[in-house]
Structure 1
Amino acid sequence: MSFFPSLPADAGARHLLALNPEAGRALVAFHCAVLRHDTALTARDKELLAAYVSGLNACQYCHGVHRETAIAFGVDAGLLDALLSDLEQAPVEPRLRPLLAFARKLTLTPSRMAAADAQAAFDAGWSERDLHDAVLTIGLFNLMNRLLEGHGIKGSDELYASRGKALAEDGYAPLLAWLPEASG
């Protein structure tokens, strides 16, 4: 149950976006621009980052939805659990490990970021644009985690499964249909 009495018992992100439709439209556009424009960092990779960051923040809703989205993109569910348990021992492709370490540090101790953190990603073969996209994804999900937690939105397994499937198949743009038209 949300902290906001006007939101339904089964509230999700789309409901909080509708509380301020103008901001909601901008946020959906940002999701589309960040998460569905592949460079070397694919939508699959970005959804893995989204689920990981949300798990680090213990955001039940975002972790649940983006875990399911990442799984729909082919990420093994066991990998997601292993990453949260022990990043160093998780069976992740070596090239992704420095991005995940970057995500962990930026999420948990952002003031301790250093040039060496970026250099580790560059040394693994990621470009500046790729790392920038990773930073955008990490920042977006730290924001979304706080928005969902601040509104008291938790979700359910059924909601995670349906939203995860929809995001994998259709992306984020369909969320715009949930927003009321701009007032004149």
Structure 2
Amino acid sequence: MRLEILNHGYRPATKLLFAIIRLFSGHPVPDAAKLTFYRPDFYGARAKEFTDEAMRGPSEWSVGDRELMAAYVSSVNESAFCIGAHTATASLAYQDGPRVTAVLTDLESAPVDEPLRATLRMLGKLTQNGNVDADDMRQVLAAGASPQQIADALAVCTAFNTTSRLADAFGFEQLTPKGYEAGAKYLLKRGYR
């Protein structure tokens, strides 16, 4: 159910910012951004800080890898908005859309390194079942992922399990392919703050 608050519940300065963004980008502000501006003291500021650290903070995973994790978690959650946004961003980060599509279509045959494949498999299980166990972690470690990479991947998983569920709960509007591409360029240039 789409809440009307996403269309009208903002202060005048925020409305002006949205108008400027639309003017210069040629695209409306995505609902994910709108949500962070609505009551930023309650959700938005903390969400942006956590997500930016997970997605752009120091990590052994590349930005493309983390965007692919976001797309994969969103795919497991069947969140159309987040799949579109992070498929576009991962594709642009990697400069390899077919690779991203391959992962989202069939992880087991996709052309990715084993540490990433095992990590995505674990994130998928965590997203779908709500838990993982020591054996799951041993498999990821045996595939070559470091403990820090696992911790970083779990942060991405947390951010996008939250975001994809909010996207569906609030009925985020789908963007056009050009809108997703514009959003991807913004995220790669400026991050999530």
Give the TM-score normalised by the residue count of structure 1: 0.85
How many angstroms does 1:39 deviate by? 2.1
Which residue type is aligned with residue 140 of structure 1?
A
- In structure 1, the gaps of 5 or more residues are 174-184
Determine whether 1:116 maps to 2:135. Answer: yes
Count matched residues: 171
Could you list the structure 1 runs, at least 4 aligned residues long, displaced by more than 6 angstroms after superposition. Answer: none
Structure 1 stretch displaced more, 71-80 or 123-132: 71-80
How many angstroms does 1:149 deviate by? 0.7
Structure 1 stretch displaced more, 124-133 or 25-34: 124-133
For 1:12 and 1:124, the matched residues in 2 are separated by 37
Question: 1:61, 1:160 within 8 Å by CA — same for their partners in 2?
Answer: no
Highest RCO, 1 vs 2 (Cα 8 Å, sep ≥ 6): 1
Corresponding residue for residue 18 of structure 1: 37
For 1:75 and 1:91, the matched residues in 2 are separated by 14
For 1:86 and 1:75, the matched residues in 2 are separated by 19
- In structure 2, the gaps of 5 or more residues are 9-27
For 1:75 and 1:99, the matched residues in 2 are separated by 21
Q: What's the secondary structure of 2:35's corresponding residue?
A: helix
Corresponding residue for residue 4 of structure 2: 5
Corresponding residue for residue 73 of structure 1: 93
Please point out which of 104, 118, 127 is paired with 1:84: 104
1:5-48 Cα deviation digits (max 9, x unpaired)? 23239552111112221120111011111111132122221111
1:71-125 Cα deviation digits (max 9, x unpaired)? 12115222222223222112222221111111111111123x2211111221122
Please point out which of 143, 151, 162 is paired with 1:143: 162
Structure 1 stretch displaced more, 73-82 or 91-100: 73-82
Structure 1 stretch displaced more, 153-162 or 45-54: 153-162
Instruction: Trace 1:23-38 onto structure 2 (pairs within 5 A).
Output: 23-38=43-58
